[in-house]
């Protein structure tokens, strides 16, 4: 009787062990199949299972029939999480861009009646050859972000004055600002800091005005050749700095260099647009004014 009972107990133990091995093998095979399926779906090219001993719960290099699948060497589930996060990020960026997209519209010249244009000799040329509505122009040759609040200027609508006094006496709905070409050659970081200081001062004096930052118009090849400081890479670097100040709420950025009327396929100011390679010829100031009318914010 004892022998028979012992045999039965051993038989039950053997049966139990075989069942456990089958269970472990089944779990391992099923988990591996799931891992391969997920790898196929999520684009993971190499999956090598790492198993955990079912009894010790420690990571081992055991064979599939000695443990069950816990994770993958290539961090499959980490990759899945990263993929999901990236897709969510892309969606968030798309929604942000869509919500901050600037919609330009076409206006007539009366739109500029309560507008101030601030700039250097290019803006001065605009005031002389293609004035828009009843806009004021605070512009002259050699104007920079460094001397802007030191210079005194006169225009059709006001006598000789400095910018601070003008901004204190008059209220503008919008202010266009094109400065930077005369600053080329200065350290970019210095230009950036001063440009930002100018913006803050203008906003403090005209808190309700919409500010439109204009990209510096490119130069012709002959200007770049004569003075390498004016190479397009430098002008574009400066324009990108200026663009970074636009918040698409009260401060906007526009770029006339996107128009083929002014620049060639490589971005240089066309030879027929400018005699000196910097300032537009008289007819093109009218084209510039028309472009401003078609790109109002």
Residues 176, 117 contacting (CB under 8 angstroms)? yes
The domain made up of 109-294 has a fold known as Rossmann fold (3.40.50)
Q: For residue 145, what are the contacts with CB-CB under 8 A and spacing of at least 6?
A: 179, 180, 183, 191, 194, 195, 197, 198
d(CA 181, CA 17): 84
In the chain, what are the domain boundaries? Answer: 2-76, 109-294
Residue 162 to residues 62, 118, 169: CA-CA distances in angstroms? 82, 12, 11
One digit per residue, pLDDT tens: the chain, 297 residues? 444 444 444 455 554 555 545 544 444 444 555 455 555 555 544 444 444 444 444 444 444 444 444 445 556 667 777 777 777 777 776 665 555 567 889 999 999 999 999 999 999 999 999 999 999 999 999 999 999 999 999 999 999 999 999 999 999 999 999 999 999 999 999 999 999 999 999 999 999 999 999 999 999 999 999 999 999 999 999 999 999 999 999 999 999 999 899 999 999 999 999 999 999 999 999 999 999 999 999
Residues 6+ apart with CB under 8 A from 251: 199, 210, 211, 212, 213, 245
CA 225 centroid distance within chain = 31
DSSP line for 86-121: HHHHHHHHHHHHHHT----B---GGGGTTEEEEESH
Write down the residue that tokens 């090219």 correspond to: 45
pTM greater than 0.85 (yes/no): no
């Amino acid at each position: 009787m004892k022998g028979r009972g012992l045999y039965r107990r051993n038989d039950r133990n053997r049966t139990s062990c075989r069942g456990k091995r089958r269970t472990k093998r089944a779990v391992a095979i099923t988990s591996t199949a799931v891992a391969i399926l997920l790898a196929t779906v999520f684009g993971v090219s190499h999956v090598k299972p790492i198993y955990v001993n079912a009894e010790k719960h420690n990571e081992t290099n055991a064979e599939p029939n000695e443990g069950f699948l816990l994770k993958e060497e290539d961090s499959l589930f980490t990759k899945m999480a990263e993929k999901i996060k990236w897709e969510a990020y892309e969606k968030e960026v798309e929604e942000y861009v869509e919500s901050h997209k600037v919609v330009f519209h076409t206006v007539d010249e009366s739109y500029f009646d309560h507008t101030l244009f601030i700039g250097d000799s290019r803006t001065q040329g605009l005031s002389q050859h293609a004035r828009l509505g009843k806009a004021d122009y605070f512009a002259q040759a050699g104007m920079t972000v460094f001397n802007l609040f030191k210079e005194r200027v006169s225009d059709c609508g006001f006598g000789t004055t400095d910018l601070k006094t003008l901004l204190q006496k008059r209220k503008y709905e919008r202010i266009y600002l094109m400065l930077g070409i005369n600053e080329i050659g200065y350290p970019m970081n210095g230009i950036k800091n001063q440009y930002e200081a100018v913006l803050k001062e203008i906003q403090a004096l005209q808190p309700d005005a919409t500010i439109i930052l204009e990209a510096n118009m490119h130069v012709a090849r002959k200007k770049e050749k004569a003075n390498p400081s004016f190479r397009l890479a430098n002008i574009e670097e400066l324009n990108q700095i200026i663009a970074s100040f636009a918040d698409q709420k009260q401060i906007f950025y526009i770029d006339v260099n996107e128009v083929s009327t002014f620049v060639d396929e490589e971005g240089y100011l066309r030879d027929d647009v400018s005699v000196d390679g910097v300032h537009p010829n008289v007819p093109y100031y009218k084209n510039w004014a028309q472009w401003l009318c078609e790109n109002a914010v």
